[in-house]
């Protein structure tokens, strides 16, 4: 019964729950990537302020180094889900592009389900566990004399990884749906 309901979600041609879920995921990843875009501007601003303070006033700002790597981590974590959704990641198509659509779909599905999804899931849960440990222990960063708490930083990284994992699950489910269609109807070029 459970499998039948999942199969119906995947095989519905009228949209249904999968289309609604996809729209929600895309909206959230868009908001996260827009936050990342604003953080790029913030990163540029704090580095420019530090350069001015360092070379004009001969007084560097102590927390800029720490903030720059924090902003960089935030930018990567918040933007990766949208990058994956839009297919903006770099891939090597030397051999892959020579295969027909059916073989490419099988490769994507098998590698996605067997290797990448479990690896991303393990990574995400490891980072969540690390974030919880940082919160409980009151861990602080020791890179500069500022000593900020690291759990808020790790929490943002967790949210980015969780969103990436959700997006990857969506993409894998779409590949499975595409593979099922190909196997039922044949291979369209």
Q: Alpha helix (H) ranges present in 96-150? A: 101-111, 117-137
Please give the share of the chain, as a percent, with pLDDT higher than 90: 53
Mean pLDDT (the chain, rounded): 86
Extract the tokens encoding 176: 């499975």
Q: pLDDT higher for 86 or 154?
A: 154
Lowest mean pLDDT among 4-18, 104-118, 169-183: 4-18
pLDDT in tens, 92-101: 777 878 888 8
Max Cα distance, the chain (Å): 71
Res. 19 pLDDT band, cuts 50 70 90: confident
Say what the pLDDT of residue 86 is. 86
| CA–CA dist 16, 88 (Å, integer) | 27
Give the containing element (helix H, strand E) for 151. helix 151-185
User: pLDDT (tens digit, 9 = 90+) per residue, 62-75?
Assistant: 889 899 999 999 99
pLDDT at residue 16 tops 80: no
pTM for the full predicted model:
0.80
| Cα 168 → chain centroid | 8
Higher pLDDT, 19 or 4: 19
What is the reported pLDDT for 186?
Answer: 67
Name the packing angle between helices 16-55 and 2-11 (round to 10°): 70
d(CA 44, CA 72): 11
- Percent of the chain at pLDDT exceeding 70: 88
Residue 130's pLDDT is 95
């Amino acid at each position: 019964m459970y499998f039948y309901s999942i199969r119906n979600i995947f095989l519905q041609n009228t949209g249904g729950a999968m289309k609604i879920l996809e729209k929600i995921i895309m909206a959230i990843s868009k908001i996260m990537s827009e936050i990342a875009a604003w953080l790029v501007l913030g990163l540029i601003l704090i580095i420019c302020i530090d350069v001015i303070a360092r070379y004009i006033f001969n007084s560097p700002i102590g927390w800029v180094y720490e903030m720059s790597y924090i902003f960089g981590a935030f930018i990567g974590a918040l933007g990766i889900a949208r990058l994956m959704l839009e297919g903006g990641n770099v891939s090597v198509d030397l051999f892959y592009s020579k295969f027909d659509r059916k073989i490419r779909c099988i490769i994507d599905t098998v590698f996605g389900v067997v290797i990448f999804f479990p690896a991303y899931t393990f990574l995400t849960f490891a980072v969540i566990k690390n974030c919880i440990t940082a919160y409980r222990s009151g861990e602080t960063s020791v890179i500069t004399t500022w000593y900020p708490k690291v759990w808020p930083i790790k929490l943002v990284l967790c949210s980015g990884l969780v969103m990436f994992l959700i997006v990857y699950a969506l993409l894998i489910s779409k590949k499975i749906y595409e593979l099922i269609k190909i196997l039922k109807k044949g291979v369209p070029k």
